[in-house]
Each structure stands twice: as C-alpha cells, then as structure tokens.
Amino acid sequence: MAEISSLGYVGFGVSDLDRWQVFATDILGMQVGRRDATSMTLRMDEYCQRFFLEQNDIDDIIAAGWEFTSERELEEYVAELRDKGVELRVLSAEHCARRHIEKGYSCQDPNGFDHEFFFGHGVALLKDQFRSTVLKGGFVTGNLGVGHILPFANRGNGAETVDFYRNVLKFRISDYIRQEVQPGMMVEATFFHTKTGRHHSIATAEAPTAKVLNHFMVQLEDMDDVGLAYDRAVAAGIPIVLELGHHPNDRMFSFYAQTPSGFNFEFGWGGIVIDENDWEVKTFHQMSDWGHKRNLIPVPETEEHPLS
C-alpha cells in the first residue's frame, strides 16, 4: 500500500520577509532560492526549495508538503484518501511550478492548514549547489526529508487530529510523551514517522494556543553547528525558548528559539532513524531527560507553550 516517503517542504505565511531572510541565512544557515516582493523560498540541500514563505499576516504554517517517490504511489495514496471521504484539490500547473514539483494534491488538516501530496521535486542546477555562509557541515535531509513539524491540535480536537494523522494520512506511531508540565496541566504528545524512518516528521499535542504551529525542527550533520547557531541566536538577541538539552524519545540534542513570526524552531543533532524490524512503541513521561531549561518569554494571555 502506498505511503508517504518524507516531509518534502513546509510553507509559512509571514508578515516580515526581510527579517525572515536575515534570520534564515545568518542564524539557521539556509540559502535563499528565490525572492520577490511577496514570497521567498529557502534551500537546505540540492532541492530547489525546502521552505517557502508567503507574505501573510497570520505568521503561521500554511502547508506541509509530503513527498512520494513515484507518480504511481502518489495516485494510489490519493485514491485511498478519496475512498476514505477526504476532499482533495488538484494542484494547478501554476501552483506546482511555484512548489517546484511535477504533480500534487492537497487536503486540509483538522486545524486549518494544508497537507500537499506530491512527486517529482525540482533539483537545482549543479552551478547553484547549496552553500551556507555559516554552517560547518550541512543539514540532514535526503530521504529523511526537511525535519519535523509540531502543529497543535485545537482545544477539544486532539483525538480527531491523532486519528486523522494515524488512520487517514497513515503516519506510523513512533511513541508518546505524557508529562505533567505544571500542577494539573498534562501534556499528551503523539509522534509519527513516515516510511523512511526519521523518528518523527510530524507530532501533535492538544493546547489552547493562538498559533497552530508550535515549532519546526531542522537537523545538522555536525554537532558543533548546534552550539554555533545557539551563540549566533544569543548574539542577535533572538529569544531562546529552551536552552541546550536532550530528548529521551528521538535522542536529539538541540535548543529551541523564536522565529520572526513568533512560533519556534528547534535546531538539533543526533536524532535516530527508526528500523521497523526493531522498534517498540513506548510512552515517555518527560519531554527532556536533561537540559532544555525553559526561559520565560512574554506571550499573550490566551497563549501557552507547554512543549517549547
């Protein structure tokens, strides 16, 4: 049966493209693919884009692009979604050109952003190979995809969201974390992987927040790049949300900080790849086994950040 290969790209609606350009290149070490007055693409490897940004005051996620290795797999998967009653939209030729893909479809998440399913990603010309101005190494992408995203489920929508990811989109359960982060405040997070095995390409938890996206994660080949990015973020005055630390489930060494749009990013090294022949789903009771000290950052009274 057809399954998603990886998280191929992620799209954000952002209110300040100029700030994002400086942040993405000088702090994260990405490269601008193209830029115009209302949009920008960001590169991490040979793909023409891994992130796209559109001028939009929502400052939140607008799309997650899920990659298939062949048109046949894509069409089989889309047929299954339609059999399940999912309303799908065919992406126009213009839309596909903007995404640098050959063919795609989309449906909406229960929490208001789009999932786009595609095959045939665009590869940059050899003369335009990826270059970072600040990284020692590169990003861990390839068949593992961009990294991961953690969109929140709206209050009361947690069970529906988990069911949609597991039983409709067919993500595989990696594990769970259930932790009382404050007296009487229990966070229950579910982590999902795709067939290529990055520990999680998407995760979710239920929380009363103003933004859908809690954070996105990108992974580095060189551990030093995590520390160097931390120093760059501190020097630039970027709010550090969680200090350097380590997760028990995906074994990622990382820190979390705030993007120009107010949601967070995780910069990490050392995450595991799941082997389905030797994997046991577990429930953990702490988000971090060391570090990740939380820094208090003022947020609107209606917004809480129990995970980062």
- CA nearest to 170, candidates 255, 58, 307, 66: 66
Max CA distance (Å), the chain: 56
Q: Percent of the chain having pLDDT more than 90?
A: 89
Instruction: Say if residue 195 is exposed, middle or buried (CB neighbours under 10 Å; 0-12, 13-18, 19+).
Output: middle
31-35 and 202-206 beta bridge pairing: unpaired
Say what the pTM is.
0.95
Tokens of residue 164, six digits: 């949609």
In whole numbers, what is the pLDDT of the chain averaged over residues?
Answer: 94
Given this model, what pLDDT does residue 307 score? 60
Domains parsed from the chain with CATH numbers: 6-128 (3.10.180.10), 142-291 (3.10.180.10)
- Assess contact for 13 and 54: CB atoms under 8 A: yes
Given this model, what pLDDT does residue 240 score? 98
Please list, in sequence order, all residues whose beta carbon lies within 8 angstroms of the beta carbon of residue 128, skipping any fewer than 6 positions away. Answer: none
The band of 288, judged by pLDDT with boundaries at 50, 70 and 90, is very high
Tokens of residue 165, six digits: 């990811």
Instruction: Give the three-state DSSP class for 203.
Output: strand
Lowest mean pLDDT among 61-70, 106-115, 202-211, 270-279: 202-211
pLDDT at 216 > cutoff 70 = yes
C-alpha triplet 256, 262, 264: angle, nearest 5°: 20
Average pLDDT over residues 52-80: 98
